[in-house]
Amino acid sequence: MRLKRKQSVHSSVHHSPSPGVHKSDHILTVHDGEEFVLPSKYRIERTIGTGAYGHVVSAVDMETNKPVAIKKNKNIYPIGDDECTAGVTSCGERIVPQTRSCMSQMRVLREVKIMKHCCTTHPSVVRILDIISPESYDSFSDVYIVMELLDADLRDLLDGPALISNEHIKYIMYQLLHAVRHLHAASITHRDIKPENILLNEDGQVKLCDFGLARGCNFLEVNNTARFSNNYVQTRYYRAPELLLDCDLVGTGVDIWSVGCIFGEMLGGGGILFTGSSSANQLKKIIRTMGTPSMDEVGSEKGRFFVNSLDYVEKNEEWYFDVLPRHCVDMYALDLLCKLLAFDPKKRITAEQALRHPYFRNIDLDIKPVQISKFCFDYEKSLFVANTQDEERFASLCKRECYETIVGFHKRSGDKRQLSTKKSFKQTLRELFKTKK
């Protein structure tokens, strides 16, 4: 099944690998104008997503005959040895490598490391099957991540004509919150939870993907980002007030806010809750709906100054009636929504608490809590130092770290993480998918 995915227009063209350039089992395929250099066992089928950083295709692993998704992160690291990637020409001109910014290099490194750390441990986090080994350090520039293939993302479903039933919403939320709890237990904040990064399949499984913006818990947004801040790209509509207000210390609550926005979007039949045209406008829209927060609910001096500069709006405890259609009468759902969307992150519910909320009292889906070790972000410290000093040194360190992570990646066998969803739920979800074809 395919929903309203970006379909491929051109058929793939296969080229023989240039001698000495790629491993003998790597083949260059041009698909939808994009070059893929992949082991010959992968046959590309169609383009399923193009994001800001990646080009994602579905493919078949012909050895196992299983469908996979392959995300290509293009031109991430400079090719060649470090000295020649940023040198000086004979006429004194500086050669600037045609690769991505520090932010993109870091983003891909994080994604590879985080997926490797937590994707094999939880059924609600997309499973990484392989990271294509680069032939050599010098030629390493593109990063290909092979994942299990899901049928659609939540945006496809929300933008379709059919309403998502209350039962679907509950199942989606339950699995999403499990994924979030798992990440938070590993001290990882996703920071980019949005419908496009929530994958679904016809069997009713929900999996979180796209870890490029993730950070440790309680990350110092301002100080840590240094040169990255200009490129900070988290989707505004799902951004928590503390991020919009540039608070120094932000934590896992930002993910909970995003989950709340998505919950509201599903309950409301697909309309995005807050659609600001800028960070300030986003915040104004939130305040206009919920009311002005008290000063102790705003975690920074700058934030308090900004909030004070706005017209005062009376607190509206039942703000959801203004943004959701009246037919949403499940008081448990509305109560959970308010707790997920508490303005003050200190008052916001955690994923763990949300899973125990009575809204889920009758859910028939058994997801066992999974042990996960804390993810260690220490490798980023030296990179941040390099980033503030020297961009080329940063690129070289980042490339080395990513290369070594990929080389150290070992395919894990046996997937014990598949969820068994309720039969009736599978059936109705399958029907929902069918109506959207």
131 part of the interface to ligand ATP, by CB under 6 A: no
Region from 48-56, 129-137, 298-306, 378-386 binding ligand ATP, contact rule CB under 6 A: 48-56
Binds 53: which of ligand ATP, Mg ion, none (CB < 5-8 Å by kind): ligand ATP
50 part of the interface to Mg ion, by CB under 5 A: no
Q: Give the relative orientation of helices 301-309 and 279-290 as an angle to the nearest 10 degrees.
A: 70
Instruction: Provide the token pair at 3.
Output: 């929903």
Number of CB atoms found within 10 A of residue 182's CB: 23
Instruction: Select the residue interacting with ligand ATP from 149, 256, 383, 398 (CB under 6 A).
Output: 149
Pick between residue 52 and residue 220 the one whose CB is nearest to ligand ATP: 52
Region from 10-18, 178-186, 194-202, 380-388 binding ligand ATP, contact rule CB under 6 A: 194-202
Q: What is the DSSP string of 240-306?
A: -HHHHTT-SEE-THHHHHHHHHHHHHHHTTS--S---SSHHHHHHHHHHHH-PPPGGGS-SHHHHHH
- Say what the alpha-carbon torsion angle 293, 295, 297, 299 is, to the nearest 10 degrees: 130
Is 330 annotated in the active site?
A: no
SS3 128: strand
**Contact call for residues 251 and 219 (beta carbons, < 8 A):** yes
Alpha-carbon Rg for the chain in angstroms: 23
State the number of CA atoms in the 13 A half-sphere of 161 facing the CB: 5
**Active-site pick, 192, 203, 248, 255:** 192
323 part of the interface to ligand ATP, by CB under 6 A: no
210 part of the interface to Mg ion, by CB under 5 A: yes
69 part of the interface to ligand ATP, by CB under 6 A: yes
128 part of the interface to ligand ATP, by CB under 6 A: no
From residue 361, give the alpha-carbon distance in Å to each of 267, 320, 364, 365, 385.
18, 22, 9, 11, 48
Instruction: Select the residue interacting with Mg ion from 6, 14, 33, 51 (CB under 5 A).
Output: 51
State the number of CA atoms in the 13 A half-sphere of 17 facing the CB: 15
123 part of the interface to ligand ATP, by CB under 6 A: no
Cα–Cα distance, 165 to 146 (Å, whole number) = 32
Number of CB atoms found within 10 A of residue 94's CB: 8
**Contact call for residues 36 and 144 (beta carbons, < 8 A):** yes
57 part of the interface to ligand ATP, by CB under 6 A: no
56 part of the interface to ligand ATP, by CB under 6 A: yes
Pick between residue 56 and residue 342 the one whose CB is nearest to ligand ATP: 56
| CA neighbor of 108 nearest in space, from 141, 84, 79, 67 | 141
Pick between residue 4 and residue 434 the one whose CB is nearest to ligand ATP: 4
Pick between residue 126 and residue 131 the one whose CB is nearest to ligand ATP: 126
Instruction: Select the residue interacting with ligand ATP from 153, 242, 265, 297 (CB under 6 A).
Output: 153
Instruction: Select the residue interacting with ligand ATP from 173, 209, 429, 432 (CB under 6 A).
Output: 209
49 part of the interface to ligand ATP, by CB under 6 A: yes
Smallest separation (angstroms) from Mg ion to the CB of 349: 25
Give me the count of residues in the chain.
437
Residues within window 144-203 making contact with Mg ion, judged by CB under 5 A? 197
Instruction: Select the residue interacting with ligand ATP from 147, 186, 398, 406 (CB under 6 A).
Output: 147
104 part of the interface to Mg ion, by CB under 5 A: no
Smallest separation (angstroms) from Mg ion to the CB of 127: 16
Number of CB atoms found within 10 A of residue 417's CB: 18
**Contact call for residues 126 and 150 (beta carbons, < 8 A):** yes
337 part of the interface to ligand ATP, by CB under 6 A: no
29 part of the interface to ligand ATP, by CB under 6 A: no
Q: Compute how many residues bind Mg ion; rule: CB under 5 A.
A: 3
Residues contributing to the site for Mg ion (CB under 5 A): 51, 197, 210
User: Active-site residues: which are they?
Assistant: 192
Residues contributing to the site for ligand ATP (CB under 6 A): 48-49, 51-54, 56, 69, 71, 126, 147-150, 153, 196-197, 199, 209-210, 212
